[in-house]
Amino acid sequence: MWRLLRLICDNAAPMDVHRQTCQNCGSRALHNILVREPGHRSVVFVGCTTCEKLVARYGLETYYHHGKGLESYLRSIQGSVESGRRVLSEFEATQQEAVDGYERVVKALRAQGKEP
Nearer to Zn ion, 25 or 56 (CB): 25
Q: In this chain, which of 7, 18, 20, 24 binds Zn ion, going by CB under 5 A?
A: 24
Binding track, positions 39-68, relative to Zn ion; x by CB under 5 A: ---------x-xx-----------------
Q: For the CB of residue 55, give the shortest distance to Zn ion in the complex, in Å.
A: 7
Distance, CA of 91 to CA of 96 (rounded, Å): 9
Nearer to Zn ion, 10 or 115 (CB): 115
Cα separation values, 56 from 1, 37, 71, 93, Å: 21, 19, 27, 28
- Sheet containing 42-48, strands listed edge to edge, beginning at the edge strand earlier in sequence: 30-35, 42-48, 54-60
Q: Which residues are near Zn ion by CB under 5 A?
A: 22, 24-25, 27, 48, 50-51
